Structure 1
Amino acid sequence: MSTAAPASSVPASPGPPHRRRRRRARPLMSAVVTITALLCALVGGIGWYFAGVAIEVDHSAEYPLTIEDAGNGTVTLPREPGTERPGAWALVWKGGRALLGPVVGGNDEHVVRKVSPVEGALVKDAPAMIDHWMYDGDPKTALGLPFQDVTYPSEVGPMPAWLVPGTSDKGTWVIGVHGRNADKAETFRVMRTVHSLGMPMLSIAYRNDVGAPPSQDRRNHLGDKEWHDVVSAMGYARAHGATGVVLYGWSMGGAMAMTTLQRDPSFVRGVVLDSPVLDWSATLDKQGDARHLPAFMTGIAKRVLQWRIGIDLADFDMRRYAPHLRTPVLMFTTEDDATVANGPAFAFARKAPPGTVTHIPTPGDHTESWNVDPAAYERSLVAFLKRVG
């Protein structure tokens, strides 16, 4: 009988279970990679789309209201903040326009306002919108002001403009620069005031406007390219007798005016800003919040935008330029601006040398300072233009 101890048992190789786990791990890792790729594509796609919205050229009109009734010099509209506000407003529908008067009736659901038709007939159930530009057409048909259709040379071709003459071509001209995807009609509201002071006013179209030469890529560049058209307009004014200019910019037109001032200030006597974009990065953050985008996704969209049109958004933060400002600025901002971030404008006014920026906050939404109180707006504008003109 053998006395050797029995061989100790050796644990069975766990190889097959490991192989099974590896086989299970492969599809799991594949799923993780696929999901990650899909998420990256989704985030990148949303960033690409949001960036595209910011640089899209779009001149279409929207009519979110319905005319509920009209007659006897009144119009009935759905009651909402935009239809019941006091101030100066127009009502626009396809084929027509009217100036709205005071509220004279209504209930919780409807508002009745006096109305003065300007063009076309008010029709019940017609889609419509409230228009804070007020007028349409040209300076003669809209305001009864004499004007000339002129063109000024630019990098991309001859640009159309309206020239409302002053008492003399000599002296300081006002150059009106409308906002993104707007047109020259945005400048109508101040034309009478400028004309009453005897100052020539040149209201310009710029690249990608209706009736104007397009840029090569047919995209908005947030003022990075468009400001060159402002410089070209200044050259036209100088060639026709101007001894200086006041740049008057609405929204993105304000960004263009300030970029022009920053880079070519010698001929600029003053700047008027109405709801200006003074920091594109902050404004894009505001727009992202309005679309409920997470902050990181808005950040991706901004990086995509910078790559697509070759700009650095930091170059458009005018708070950095404010301490170096030497040219007088009149600036209007609105407390309920849903389009442009107002914080940079307030900071710009604080950082500028004392007395350089006259900042007038008003009620209203984007570029509506004139509409909520035309008389007060015009008093401030007259005082400023007399000082710098």
Structure 2
Amino acid sequence: MTIVWWVLGVLVVLAAAFLLVLRKVVGKIVLPGGDRWTPVLETTDDSIQLPITDDTVRPGEYGLWHDGTGHTTVGPVLEVDEAAGTVRRAVVRTSGDVSARVRWSGHVHPDPAAMDVDWAELDLPTPVGPAPAWVIRPGGPAAAPAAAAPAAAAPAPATTWAVHVHGIRTTRVTALRTVPAALEAGWTSIVPSFRGDGEAPWQGRASHLGAREWPDVEAALDHAVANGAGRLVVVGWSMGATITHELLARSAHRDRIAGLVLVSPALDWETTVRSQAGRAGLPGFVVGAALRAMALPLVCRVVGLRSPVDVRALSWLHAPRNLPPTLLIHSSGDTTVPFAVSQEFADAHPGTVTLAVSEPAEHAWERNVDAVWFDTTITTWARSLEHTGTVE
């Protein structure tokens, strides 16, 4: 009898240890990561010097978040000193005092105010409470009319609205990068926040990969339609593509969704997670167990989720549906979300999905490496939607 109890005790300990391992693995998938800081070596009015890293020598424009308040947008590499291990980049714009260290990002615009556009902020009524969103309208910055100017009829409001949906471990500022192309296309943009992103109402630190977040973005569609949107174009960045997947299936406005733009899209979480785990040397059976634990009603809470997340149900590959015209922008240089999945998805939907392959870029940095190509790709594709008519 003593042996039986001993064996049971060992099994309980092993089970508990395995659950702790699964919780850690799930945390790597759904919890925010730590900030990575880059020291600032020197600054002038028009340049900044940083250590050479994989990021700091990349071509294009990027955003540097200051340690505290403020933001700097950097442009081309001006000088690389291999011997000293330094790189100097042009400063495009900056706000606030540059700190001793900065956080490198793809966020070239810290907010709409930096974009010289007509914008406003509002709170959307989501199921978890008011969530902030930006609305940005075509036509340039808002300005009071000159006193002597003759009265003129107000321009007709845009009947196509773009809903820009950011991804995991970031905020709506990420999605501002698709707003310039939407404005060029003549669309009004709405850029919502959603639970768990640090701006919308708090519901814990864990992302649910779109399964719980999509109703918050539905509130943005509600607002657009209530304000004259006849057509909707959903623009999903990374995990924003998963939220878009749920909106296509569940939104009350899905018949108005005339097109999709998906950037570095997370089309299949299982493939994405297994790819990252493989590079980290994590055994496949552990990853499989973690994904199954996420989908189980009780076990999901043990591993840190509020409700089950079935990654297969969220996959674009396992749940084919009638798609509106879709532009998919991705780079084969993405080491976070496998490009091969985007290629597979495009191949499965010829004539509906247009795959635009950018120059080599890390995850969601396709616009950063070539903004002209990125914006032109979207506006050229957008013109094809003009022939689909307006949903009444």
User: Equivalent residue of 2:236, what SS?
Assistant: strand
**Among 10, 17, 25, which residue is 1:50 paired with?**
25
Q: Shift of residue 227 of structure 1?
A: 1.5
Q: Shift of residue 358 of structure 1?
A: 0.7
8 Å contact kept, 2:193–2:217: no
Q: Shift of residue 33 of structure 1?
A: 6.6
Q: Distance in 1 between matches of 2:335 and 2:14?
A: 30
Matching residue of 1:375 = 372
Matching residue of 1:165 = 137
Q: Give 5+ residue unaligned stretches, structure 1.
A: 1-25
How many residue pairs match? The answer is: 355
**Among 64, 78, 87, which residue is 2:51 paired with?**
78
Q: Shift of residue 289 of structure 1?
A: 2.3
Change (3 A) 1:229 1:121: closer
Q: Give 5+ residue unaligned stretches, structure 2.
A: 139-154, 301-306, 387-392
**Among 198, 202, 207, which residue is 1:210 paired with?**
198
Matching residue of 1:327 = 324
Q: Distance in 1 between matches of 2:90 and 2:347?
A: 42
Spell out the pairing of 1:141-152 with structure 2 (5 A cutoff): 141-152=113-124
Q: Distance in 2 between matches of 1:52 and 1:101?
A: 35
Q: Distance in 1 between matches of 2:77 and 2:207?
A: 39
8 Å contact kept, 1:174–1:248: yes
Matching residue of 1:18 = none
TM-score, normalization: structure 2? 0.83
Residues 79-126 of structure 1: per-residue CA shift (max 9 Å, x gap): 122111111112232133222232222124222222244112335xx2
- The letter for the 2-side match of 1:311 is V
- The letter for the 2-side match of 1:73 is D
Spell out the pairing of 1:1-389 with structure 2 (5 A cutoff): 37-56=12-31, 58=32, 62-71=35-44, 73-94=46-67, 95-105=69-79, 106-108=81-83, 109-123=85-99, 126-136=100-110, 138-139=111-112, 141-166=113-138, 168-215=156-203, 219-264=206-251, 265-307=254-296, 308=300, 309-322=307-320, 324-352=321-349, 354-362=350-358, 363-389=360-386
- The letter for the 2-side match of 1:132 is G
Residues 103-157 of structure 1: per-residue CA shift (max 9 Å, x gap): 222124222222244112335xx22222211121x31x21011112122322222
TM-score, normalization: structure 1? 0.84
8 Å contact kept, 2:265–2:337: yes
Q: Please state which structure has a larger fraction of its residues in helix.
A: 1
Change (3 A) 1:117 1:242: closer
User: Equivalent residue of 2:199, what SS?
Assistant: coil
Residues 246-281 of structure 1: per-residue CA shift (max 9 Å, x gap): 000101111111221234431100000011111111
8 Å contact kept, 1:165–1:200: yes
* Sequence identity (%): 27
